[in-house]
Amino acid sequence: MCSSDLVAPLLADRAAAWLFWFALGAAAITGITWTMLGQPDQAVVRVITVLVIACPHALGLAIPLVVAISTERAARAGVLIKERGALERMRTITTVVFDKTGTLTKGQPALALVEAVSGHTEADVLTLAAAAEADSEHPLARAIVRAAQDRGLQVPAASGFTSQPALGVSARVDGAEVRVGGPRLRDEARAGDPLSGSETHNAGLTRLYVLRDDRVIGALSLADEVRPESAHAVAALHRLGVRVAMITGDTQSVADRVAAQLDIDTVLAEVRPEEKAARVARLQAAGERVAMVGDGVNDAPALAQADVGLAIGAGTDVAIASAGVILAGDDPRAVVSVIELSRASYRKMLQNLWWAAGYNLVSVPLAAGVLAPIGITLPMEVGAILMSVSTVVVALNAQLLRRLDLRPDRPGV
């Protein structure tokens, strides 16, 4: 937990400490002064009035009441605050990093194109790829298997399935080793690229090569639809003065296609799962205050590394456990709501602290009797009323947070 986690609590503690010494000193000076003036009875009355005025009821409500209302408002908007410090830190965030698949996009890619090397048919390529991907839970694998089923292809059984994150899968199909993966898989197998002249190389699609015994026999191109809410979320974050970055294991062309649609500031493409936390740390080292939004197991280290981790509620348990804020839905606009709530809550905290501690600077001298020479003194019962009024003002000011509209689909977001 970084030091800014406790900014508001420390501010309240510091104000309470100063108020204690201020009230104690004022009471002592008041008692001594009135006693020296030969009015011990008045000294007792003035000291009691000073202590009643300085009673820190309002200060005790200044922070906890704001926190309670903020948490309730967030819950109603579908945001679970696991760590209070995370909500406080969101007001300082300068860059929000979104994982691409399943966060900015729907995470449900569809097969767009099948290409086959001479000597093979498109049906051969798709059939072998579907057989190798049959045991994988990755969204791209599900899309390949679904496309083979939709085309009525007979997919043979596979054995010896293995998967390597950010590289690809492999399995034995009809006695041959079939591998499916991106350019890194092709390069590792040193298979070359017989489809290098294809226009899909720069089309911004996710391109997977199909290798049989380490020879490229074809390629599959898939597209992942961008959520319509993502563009609104990015635009709203820009209006708040927050930069937006996108991190993904997809190729640069795929990432650039999505970034161009959403007007994203920074694109981090071809990032292995184990590299995501390091990329977040690199942004932090450059002076950015980073919030990371993700939903998968491979996002967990980055969520923990970020100043604030926000997990999609439909994501994995590991991601949720690593985050300080959980978004119940999958609408990226909820991130905007969290930032706005954080900023509004902090403003209320400061306002309440200034009122709770500041009014004592005026009322305590009056209670001590500084205007007694001109015939003005503050009755004890009036002091009690003023103390209660300060508590009511703090409570009412905190209640104004309930007017904050945090719905992700509200107008203007």
Beta partners for residue 180, in sequence order? 169, 210
Residue 123 burial by Cβ neighbours in a 10 Å radius (0-12, 13-18, 19+): middle
SS3 assignment, position 108: coil
The count of other CB atoms within 10 Å of the CB of residue 280 is 27
Give yes or no for a contact between 169 and 179, defined as CB atoms under 8 angstroms apart.
Answer: yes
Residue 5 annotated among the catalytic residues of the structure:
no
Strands (E), 174-252: 176-181, 206-212, 215-223, 243-247
Give yes or no for a contact between 413 and 336, defined as CB atoms under 8 angstroms apart.
Answer: yes
Ramachandran angles phi, psi of 295, nearest 5°: -140, -10
Q: What are the angstrom distances between the C-alpha of 191 and each of 329, 402, 405? A: 42, 61, 56
Length of the chain in terms of residues written: 413
Q: Which of 5, 99, 135, 330 is catalytic?
A: 99
Tell me the catalytic residues: 99
